[in-house]
Structure 1
């Protein structure tokens, strides 16, 4: 297995595509079996021309891709770059002996009912349930049903990792483009399923740190928490979420009190059995608001009684610490399996230079721990990656899909 990554910032579409193809093929040195293409939203008016320009240069190579307001890749000097809000194209090529490559396009109007059998979801992507594929998924931001699709795919292929992102167009441009082999689409979802001698390891850095202690939800309705409880030394205390949050805020440092005014989130524990919860055990969701009369709390996801939650804070230092912790853990575990050969990065629009105050932060931090691995990707309107064994659509997250042999 071998991967390559190339990045061009040339303003001419023809010149940019020619440059990334030449560089990526030269790095690879062998025929490519799969490709991923990420195109700056500055090329919006030329999306329909991209595949006709690309295909003659990469004949018989299945390629999927989409647009992004920021593009990630490795430039001609061998340096990983995150090009935000500027013209750029990134191409990632893979030579995958012993791997079958299955590209597909999904229209959200064709999704099976959520009560359908796993076989219906497997048939949707054209694979048998026993295939154990590794998925890369790219979707447009205006199609509904992404969460239903992820739930159905988990139902059909529960052991298969799914990574990807939602196309992004920046502030001034609302048009999206999805590319799948020889077809250009304005809506829906494109994907590639890889089967055989390949594994996608996942890192999902949500960029938050927990504060206080976990609480157990006692009463809830849809996405609204009405009552929860905390465990003191020898007793259980119940109350409204607002009361408990006010008590928690009083225990914070002055810096965290200020941060809680603008960067407070709710982490929903994804394991029912683990006693000591860590950062990676939570699915981070937005705190939507409170009902001051009832003390109820609304979050950006459904919640049920019995689930555990913990309040979280997010800032640049926390995001760095969270990603570095996960990368250290991956580096340690990597000694027990085959070496990483390539990677895709799907970063939230809210990260990058606007969060850290400097460019190329997440990608360079990744390269420090997963060295000499070609990487490419884009800045997303939402990131797809697992927490525990379930696939989710995230926000403010950096998701990495790391390719290696079984």
Structure 2
């Protein structure tokens, strides 16, 4: 039986059928046969040509299953291409893997929240997938609602993916095989394939953790015995003078994923935006529904925290899963707010993955929102790096 293999590559430039065909034929030759699954991440400017690109990949790549998604940039094997025309592609050949695609519509997601109904709709039972890939058009599909349903229908099964990106709705596209999908695509991966997801949210805790003692939906009133605003001010004052100068717009809230910890560290929180703060009432509005009794800690997002977080998570993944064997391939979903905008230089995230996993086939995109698990639940993230390793 053939051993599982993967290959990846990137093409920078406007769409060219001949150049695309040459790249695809070269990848298939390196793979040594037909792929089981092909994944394409294209710049948003490729949206008008995505059907033609999928045609090339299907015909000359012999891909029986192809998923393509647009983003605000793409990446492959240590290089990031932000706001550039082009695409990256990953071919995965795995004789013992089965991939089951499901086209998703907004109407289905809005109408059906029964987990058993989703087992029937997808044909996939609660424990029958090693993991799910999920790509969605954020202008159409209610992704957070879908993930809440998925967490109940497929408990503790990881989901990796992201939201298609583009300057407008017309540049935001998801394709299944050669056809555009209005809402999104989920792919169940079954069989003897490892599916390991790392999510780095790019923040570190500041100040102290608090118990929420007063809240109404997404408005925090009191944390512990003081106001939410006072706790925010205290966290801000705990920063160095240099950190305070750069902190404006970069402080977030973190909701503890598990309450049962003696000490909370980076990565123990689901990070969400602060929408506003009122010193007179002490209230802080946040981008999440909060409840009394939750543990919360303010978070700082900066380049050093983002790089340190991803490095630590990748090193832990390498030590736990890949100390005695090599991963097969990686898929990467990066927030469009990372890259040069965060680090000042291009390629920091993709380069770090290549540094720790040399010569690993990898492809991905700059997304409008990144999907991945924190703890046992899957969430939609912002400002994060979500990395899937196949083994």
TM-score tier by shorter-chain length is over 0.9
Point out where structure 2 has 5 or more consecutive residues left out of the alignment: none
Check whether the contact 1:103–1:192 (CA below 8 A) recurs between aligned residues.
yes
Q: After superposing the two structures, state which structure 1 stretch, 149-158 or 53-62, moved more.
A: 53-62
**Per-residue displacement from partner, 1:118-147 (whole Å, max 9, x unpaired)?**
211222323123413411111112024111
Structure 2 CA distance for partners of 1:300 and 1:8, relative to 1, 3 Å: same
Could you tell me how far 1:113 is from its partner in structure 2? 4.7
**Matched residues, number:** 388
2:352 alignment partner, SS class:
helix
Could you tell me how far 1:65 is from its partner in structure 2? 1.4
1:281 aligns with 2:271: no
**Per-residue displacement from partner, 1:206-255 (whole Å, max 9, x unpaired)?**
111111110110111111111111xxxxxxxx011112222333332101
Structure 2 CA distance for partners of 1:144 and 1:91, relative to 1, 3 Å: closer
1:280 alignment partner, SS class:
coil
CA distance in 1 between counterparts of 2:44 and 2:378 reads 27
CA distance in 2 between counterparts of 1:145 and 1:12 reads 31
1:111 alignment partner, SS class:
helix
CA distance in 2 between counterparts of 1:275 and 1:362 reads 31
Q: TM-score, normalised by structure 2?
A: 0.94
1:100 aligns with 2:95: no
Q: After superposing the two structures, state which structure 1 stretch, 302-311 or 240-249, moved more.
A: 240-249
- The match for 1:53 among 48, 53, 56 is 56
Q: Look up the match of 2:193.
A: 198
CA distance in 1 between counterparts of 2:284 and 2:216 reads 10
- The match for 1:384 among 346, 355, 371 is 371
1:123 alignment partner, SS class:
helix
CA distance in 2 between counterparts of 1:94 and 1:143 reads 29
CA distance in 2 between counterparts of 1:85 and 1:251 reads 37
- The match for 2:149 among 149, 152, 165 is 152
Q: Look up the match of 2:85.
A: 87
Structure 2 CA distance for partners of 1:296 and 1:33, relative to 1, 3 Å: same
Q: What pairs up with 1:42-191 in 2 under 5 angstroms? A: 42-59=45-62, 61-74=64-77, 80-111=78-109, 113=111, 115-116=113-114, 118-170=115-167, 174-185=170-181, 187-191=182-186
Check whether the contact 2:206–2:238 (CA below 8 A) recurs between aligned residues.
no
Runs of 4+ in 1 over 4 A off after TM superposition: 112-115, 335-338
2:271 alignment partner, SS class:
strand
1:211 aligns with 2:198: no
Check whether the contact 1:8–1:19 (CA below 8 A) recurs between aligned residues.
no
Could you tell me how far 1:60 is from its partner in structure 2? 5.1
1:272 aligns with 2:259: yes
Could you tell me how far 1:6 is from its partner in structure 2? 1.3
Q: TM-score, normalised by structure 1?
A: 0.91
Check whether the contact 1:204–1:385 (CA below 8 A) recurs between aligned residues.
yes
CA distance in 1 between counterparts of 2:6 and 2:56 reads 22
